[in-house]
Structure 1
Amino acid sequence: MVRKQEQAKNTSKHAPGKLNQLVEWKKRPFLDKMIDNGIPAMELVAWCNDNGFPISLPTMNSYKKRRNEAITNGITMELLQSKLHEESMERKIDGMKKAYTKAHQQRKEKRAQTKAEINQELADQESPKRIRHDLELLDEVIQKGFDTLSKMDVISPVIAIKAMEMKHKLTNGSTGGYTHYGLEEIKLREAGREQAITAAILQFVPVEQHDAVIQRMETVTRDYYESIGLGEAYAQQVAREAIEDHE
């Protein structure tokens, strides 16, 4: 959860949708009053969650910053909401431009690939196809097996049990009998536990030091995964969670 809070902090300026929803929330006046009374951001997040409006700590800090800017510049929250909508539209247009450029490049690469395949087919007609390594044969068999399995509507219990036994042997029981779905469920529960622990710790830390504490916890987590040889996998997971938060 620490990782998700940090990623959300880095991407909150690209997600005005949540801020727009907060501006329109019927209980926002009570929230604004609590902000004016100096209630810490963590308590504000907890209050919103308890009142049916889930929100992250970085988004709450972003809202407080926007609200202070609006008050300083004499802008009403409605005008601030309009400004957020304009920023969202600009990002969508920019995204459409990038998508068009990417599609154009993909079509160009596809034409080049097709040309290369035709040239390769012409070359294959002149000489028989030969395997370069015996593992190529195994790869081909595995692929054929997958294609066949995907076309089967029914798998007998006997085959299913044998598949489980083989999985246990191949993984040396490292999954503990859990399926991929089961492991994902455990990860979600661990994330919830991590979130609760982080919230408890931050209650004893001054508000102005929350960002530093979160950053330090993220650094320690990254260093740990790198020390056990999973640095690249951890980086990929962080990137994947950033995309999910953005969506």
Structure 2
Amino acid sequence: MTSIGWLTKVPIAHRGLHDLNRMRWENTLSAFDAAASAGFAIECDVHLSADGKAVVFHDGTLDRVTGQQGNIDELTAKQAGKLRVGGTDDHVPTLEESLKLIAGRVPIVIELKGIPGRDDGLVKAVADDLAGYGGQAAIMSFDHHLIRLFDKDAPGIPAGLTAEGLRVQELEAHFSMLAHGIDFVSYNVHHLENRFVEFVRERLGLPVISWTVRSFDDKAVSDAHVDQITFEGFDPRTA
């Protein structure tokens, strides 16, 4: 099991410290620099570009964030980098660019966004970017087919399961992923508490973080059941 005590030390800014996409947008270098400057850890999302690079972007499609049509995985990293985010000066960055900017100032948790049949090499691309990185970093995913590759393609990198749901079949699917050596769990704050999270924390002794906390009421729920928040839209340190 990989040491990951640092994961729960400080609140984690969801897609960086953005302002709900008014002036400083999610998953941009500006949002990452703001989070690092404020001392918050950073969560970000990555997709695989057409030329096999990890690019920082949440959606599969381009329209919401860039106003363009098409899919992020159909662009090369260079093409993605020419797109402006939300009409601002920020561009769609690569993971490599983001890590260079963050430079170990705060931890980073990277969520891998899979597209089955179109994401071969994503785990390896992220691992390659992290190979020379000196800061604290972890990877995680909703996608079970990617998690099954973590041990082989990203050995030694702290790895987690992103999850949600309260139905029996959903919880059982989460339990099945414990066989793949995960080091932590990130769970939907609106689906706390549940027996899977309780088992992971109390029986396995693994850290659990929550997503996405958008108010002090959400934070109170999270604080009662897991170890740290992933937040946006407010400053959790101002209560």
The TM-score normalised by the length of structure 2 is 0.23
- Which structure ranks higher in relative contact order (CA pairs < 8 Å, sequence separation ≥ 6)? 1
| Bigger CA radius of gyration | 1
Q: Which has the higher strand share?
A: 2
The TM-score normalised by the length of structure 1 is 0.23
